[in-house]
Amino acid sequence: MKLFERQTYAHINVDAAVNNFRKMAALANNSQTLAVIKADAYGHGAVAIAKALTSDAHGFAVAFIDEAIQLREQGIEQPILLLEGVMSRDEMKLAHEKNFWVMLHRSEHFDWLLTLDAGQRPHIWIKVDTGMHRLGIEFSEIDSLLTAHSELLRDSTVLCSHLACADEPDNGFTLQQTKKLTDLANQYGLAFSLANSAGILQWPISHGSWNRLGIALYGCAQPPTNKLVELQPVMTLSAPIIALRTLEKGDSVGYGQSWVAQRTTTLATVAIGYADGYPRHASANTPAWLHGKRIALVGRVSMDMSSFDVTDLPQVEVNDKVELWGEHLSVAEVAECASTISYELLTRISPRVKRIYTSTAEH
């Protein structure tokens, strides 16, 4: 810790990420597992997470080429899949030079590949739209495209698709998507990749040669009740109390006077706001954790500060550290209070919040 530093931190428990990876990979023994570390590893720091997983992950996945280049520059040597593919023929060539795997998801991508010498072509995955309708070759066109480009197919070529509803255990759409992709993979004798975290946890039938592990790596997925897999949160977000004050019944707090004290209230002003990534839409009563108890958010979150009711904690002092989410409080619960999901909260922690890495193991 530096002498002059705001003590608002995202503590990253690197060992927890490694443990989560191993537990999730063990649920799919016949699959290889890509660690999805796009968006700076969901806000946790892609280089640190990748380094910790060097001997475990069979490869990494990021959204686009800039993210992959940064990892290479930091010494990450495993294959890196570009989930959104590339934007030009030159990027395709660069991908080969840097051992990035490229997702082909439009017919032009096949054309770009064919203009390169066979020795300059990157390893490819082919994205098929099985119903999410976001990215991928349309299902009605995939047959003719694969037939026309059979010279590009290798034993290692992977047919890929993304599940739209894998986190809904009763939603049959997942089975429809799975059948479409597996039928196609069988027809062409190709490997497939379909499962994200929810697929790995809830839909064994979606497990392919490769699974793509994202949110559960960071400890934020809900395992089904019949699975004995316990995931550990990787990020704990904390901030210090910088002021304490007493409000009388009827006093209000913050912008718009949106919260009014119903009793004599001790308020803690905490050094975290929406400029740090703490959600401005967090509703009154969003929980935080202090001295082994839950405390409640009051009033509007402002840019650099938030207020919490600490009336029931007589021992509270300025400089005490409040946990906004992490070890004792799930980010999913806080996300629900802000009408969003854990993915958004994790990825929006701003650079102003220093990441502190802890690890006891040599990975």
Ligand X SMILES: *Cc1c(COP(=O)(O)O)cnc(C)c1O
Q: How far is the CB of 177 from ligand X (least distance, A)?
A: 13
- Cβ–Cβ under 8 Å, residues 93 and 120: yes
Query: Which C-beta is closer to ligand X: that of 96 or that of 212?
Result: 212
- Closest distance between ligand X and the C-beta of residue 79, in Å? 15
Q: How far apart are CB 60 and ligand X at their closest, in Å?
A: 12
In whole angstroms, what is the distance from residue 346 CA to residue 324 CA? 12
Q: CA nearest 34: which of 205, 212, 174, 244?
A: 212
Active site residues: 38, 255
Q: Counting beta carbons within 10 angstroms of the beta carbon of residue 292, is it exposed (0 to 12), middle (13 to 18) or buried (19 or more)?
A: exposed
Tell which residue, 346, 315, 314, has the closest CA to residue 45.
346
Query: What residue ranges bind ligand X (CB under 6 A)?
Result: 36, 38, 83, 162, 196-198, 212-215
* Residue with token string 């894998």: 166
Of the two residues 93 and 127, which places its CB atom closer to ligand X in the complex? 127
**Alpha carbons 154 and 146: distance in angstroms, whole number:** 12
Strand partners, 265: 247
Instruction: Please state, in angstroms and as integers, the Cα–Cα distance from residue 120 to each residue in 112, 115, 123, 220, 286, following that order.
Output: 11, 10, 10, 39, 53
Between 84 and 91, CB nearer to ligand X:
84
Residue 162 Cβ, how far from ligand X at the closest point, in Å? 5
**d(Cα 13, Cα 233) in Å, to the nearest integer?**
8
Which token pair is 300?
């509007």
Nearer to ligand X, 93 or 109 (CB): 109
DSSP helix, strand, coil percent of the chain (3-state; round to 5): 30, 25, 45
Q: 326 and 236 in contact (C-beta within 8 Å)? A: yes
- Between 52 and 216, name the residue whose CB sits nearer to ligand X: 216
Q: Which is nearer to ligand X, 109 or 300 (CB)?
A: 109
Q: How many CB atoms lie within 10 A of CB 311?
A: 18
Residue 160 CB, nearest distance to ligand X (Å)?
A: 7
For residue 257, the minimal CB distance to ligand X (Å) is: 39
Q: Select 62 or 267, whichever has its Cβ closest to ligand X.
A: 62
Instruction: Tokens 């072509």: give the residue.
Output: 121
Rounded Cα gap, residues 239 and 271, in angstroms: 6
Question: Nearest to residue 230, comparing CAs of 5, 76, 9, 26?
Answer: 26
